[in-house]
Amino acid sequence: MLSGAASKLEILLVEDNPGDIRLIVETLEEGRKDYNISVAKDGEEALNFLLKRKNFEQAPVPDIILLDLKLPRKDGIEVLKEIKENDGLKAIPVIVLTSSSADSDMASAYKNHANCYITKPIDLDKFVVTIQAIENFWFTIIKTSKSK
Partner 1 sequence: MNMTETDTRQVEILLVEDNPADVRLIRETFRDFKIRNSLRVAQDGVVAMAMLKKEGEYFSSPKPDVILLDLNLPRKSGFEVLEELRRDPDLKRIPVVVLSSSDAEKDVMKSYDLNANCYVTKPVGLDDFIRIVMSIENFWLTVVKLPPA
Integer Cα distance of 61 and 58 in angstroms = 9
138 contributes a contact to partner 1 by CB under 8 A: yes
Integer Cα distance of 27 and 2 in angstroms = 20
Q: Residues 24, 118, 128, 139: which binds partner 1 (CB under 8 A)?
A: 118
Tell me the closest approach of the beta carbon of residue 139 to partner 1, in angstroms. Answer: 11
Q: Report whether 13 contacts 24 (CB < 8 A).
A: yes
Integer Cα distance of 97 and 105 in angstroms = 11
110 contributes a contact to partner 1 by CB under 8 A: yes
Q: For partner 1, which stretch binds (CB under 8 A), given 20-28, 44-52, 67-75, 130-138?
A: 130-138
Integer Cα distance of 18 and 15 in angstroms = 8
Closer of 1 and 6 to partner 1 (Cβ): 1
Q: Report whether 95 contacts 68 (CB < 8 A).
A: no
What letter represents residue 86's amino acid?
Answer: N
Using CB under 8 A as the binding rule, the residues of this chain from 4 to 63 that contact partner 1 are none
The binding site for partner 1 (CB under 8 A) comprises 1, 3, 84, 90-93, 101, 103, 106-107, 110-111, 113, 115-121, 126, 129-130, 133-134, 136-138, 141-147
